[in-house]
Amino acid sequence: MKNPKLIALLMSALLLTPIFAQERQETTAEQEYLQGNWEDMIITELTAAPDRESKEDALKSIEGAINNGRNSKEIEAALYSLAGEGVFKESRMNGRISNNYPDIRSKACDLLGQIGDEYCCKTLTKVVLSDNEPMVTSSAVKALGNANLDNCDEVVTTIAYTEKRFGIMNPTDSLANDILDAYEKLAPNVKDRKDMIRSISEIASNERYKKAVRDKARRLLADLIAM
């Protein structure tokens, strides 16, 4: 459960900073720094809370910070925790995992992709290799495709491994489609396309996927030849 007193205290602290800032016409760098510190503290506390609602609130605060162009090590640490909620970190009740929140993990992956730095990409790679939920894996794959990486070979190898894993055990059209989209975005920065070509070919030939997905894979193979 949430700690109402703690949340109220932290929210009050966050709200007080802009009130004090109104005494000046311009917000100083120090005030912005202090407001960021309060926000990071709130995000950290909400992320660590055991209930889903607190984690949803943490994601909303993180999204707002990112949309305002702000990032910090606390935000990235919170996203790492939220992206692995129930996978990297398990809480159990009566022998069952009580913090398995795929929707939380999926949203955290989306936000990691918006930041797109090396640390975030390492977290996303870990998610792709660890998570068994197609929805979460799709979000992580899309985020990796959107990240601005100079060398994508390792990322492509990870995605190719995941495509093979799901293609055999649990082929999902939406995941295969997102994998193809990621390959298309990553291709210009891939030096060795061997794993990518093999993976796309497997999607194209796997009749457990819909024809539209297989046709998309064939078109991408043709595009790669022309690159």
Q: Which of 5-9, 83-87, 97-101, 169-173 has the lowest mean pLDDT?
A: 5-9
Give the dihedral sign, CA 7/10/14/15: positive
Is residue 72 classed as helix, strand or coil in its secondary structure?
coil
Give the dihedral sign, CA 108/113/119/123: positive
pTM: 0.80
Which distant-in-sequence residues (6+ apart) come within 8 Å of 140 by Cβ? 83, 109, 112, 124, 127, 128, 131
Q: Average pLDDT, stretch 171-178?
A: 95
pLDDT above 90: percentage of residues in the chain = 66
The token duo for 120 is 């975030």
**Distance between CA 189 and CA 183 in Å, rounded?**
10
The token duo for 145 is 């495709």
| C-beta atoms surrounding 100 within 10 Å | 14
* Identity of residue 82: L
- Answer whether residue 98 shows pLDDT above 70: yes
What is the distance of C-alpha 87 from the center of its chain?
14
The token duo for 119 is 């640390």
- Answer whether residue 176 shows pLDDT above 50: yes
Confidence tier at 127 by pLDDT (50, 70, 90)? very high
- Answer whether residue 17 shows pLDDT above 90: no
Task: Report helix angle 194-205 to 211-226, nearest 10.
Answer: 150
Q: Which of 20-29, 64-73, 200-209 has the lowest mean pLDDT?
A: 20-29
**Distance between CA 11 and CA 5 in Å, rounded?**
10
Confidence tier at 150 by pLDDT (50, 70, 90)? low
Confidence tier at 24 by pLDDT (50, 70, 90)? very low
Q: Which helix (H) or strand (E) holds 92?
A: strand 92-93
Q: Whole-number mean pLDDT of the chain?
A: 86
Task: State the residue for tokens 């935000």.
Answer: 75
Q: Which helix (H) or strand (E) holds 96?
A: strand 96-97
Q: What is the pLDDT of residues 27-71, one digit of tens each?
A: 565 555 556 688 999 999 999 998 999 999 999 999 999 999 999
The token duo for 13 is 């602290």
The token duo for 22 is 């109104």
